[in-house]
Amino acid sequence: MDSAHDPVREQLAQARRDQILDAATAVFAEKGFHRATTREIAQAAGVAEGTIYNYFAGKDDLLIALMARLIEMERVEEELTRALESDSSRSVVSMFSDRIARIVADHAVFQAVLPAVLTDPRLRQRLNDEFLAPATAFLEQYIRARIQRGEMRPVAVPVAARLVSCLAVGVLVLRMLGDETLVSAWDSLPEVLATIVVDGLAASGCLGLEPLPG
């Protein structure tokens, strides 16, 4: 009756949720969302099949909750804020370092979530709204600031920001696709990525391209 806001109960419930989500992450990552069965997930979580439904509305909800937790965990905004508030070019390296570290740490989650997101329009929309759009907005701000300081060519800001995202996403996906060289050179990635971006967008371009509008 009075258990509605019992903090202990609340915490136990949260722990159960996490326990199930962890199991779901592992199973989805290994088999993919559709080939994963609720029975497997339950076994992996060490609970009965029915218990899942005491915490989630259904298998779909499991995926959505997974994505929500991923977005929560990633905290791109903080990451970018921290990395970009320093003026130095080093900060770009630092940013990529954080991202690369995250790609490793959350590998299973990405493996579990990305294929499903690429498939379902509603999940795509949500990932965009709650994850990609804010991250891109931060990047745009940063690029705009460097252009004002004359450290960067007046390149089309939105496009440039997206290309930085492309690099991050590309690294994630290429790694998921199993590129072994990428894995073996993993530690050197942040610097190379930074090199490309910083020099590629530096004030004095070597390629005789027109400055892009925007």
| Binding residues vs a second copy (CB under 8 A) | 31-35, 89, 111, 114-121, 124-125, 127-128, 132, 136, 155-156, 158-160, 162-163, 165-171, 173-174, 176-179, 181-182, 185, 188-189, 191-202, 204-209, 212
CA 108 to chain centre: 12
Binding residue (CB under 7 A) for DNA from 21, 23, 36, 143:
36
> Given the complex with DNA, which of 9 and 149 has the nearer CB atom?
9
Binding residue (CB under 7 A) for DNA from 1, 206, 207, 209:
1
Binding residue (CB under 7 A) for DNA from 35, 75, 122, 149:
35
- CA pair distance 87, 142, nearest whole angstrom: 10
Which of a second copy, DNA, none does residue 58 bind to, with CB < 5 to 8 Å depending on kind?
DNA
Binding residue (CB under 7 A) for DNA from 60, 98, 130, 140:
60
- CA pair distance 186, 53, nearest whole angstrom: 40
Q: Is 152 helix (H, G, I), strand (E, B) or coil?
A: strand
- Looking at 49-57, 70-78, 84-92, 192-200, which segment touches DNA (CB under 7 A)? 49-57
Asked if 27 and 41 touch (Cβ cutoff 8 Å), the reply is: yes
Q: CA 80, 82, 87, 92 torsion: positive or negative?
A: negative
- CA pair distance 135, 167, nearest whole angstrom: 14
Which of a second copy, DNA, none does residue 197 bind to, with CB < 5 to 8 Å depending on kind?
a second copy
- CA pair distance 52, 63, nearest whole angstrom: 12
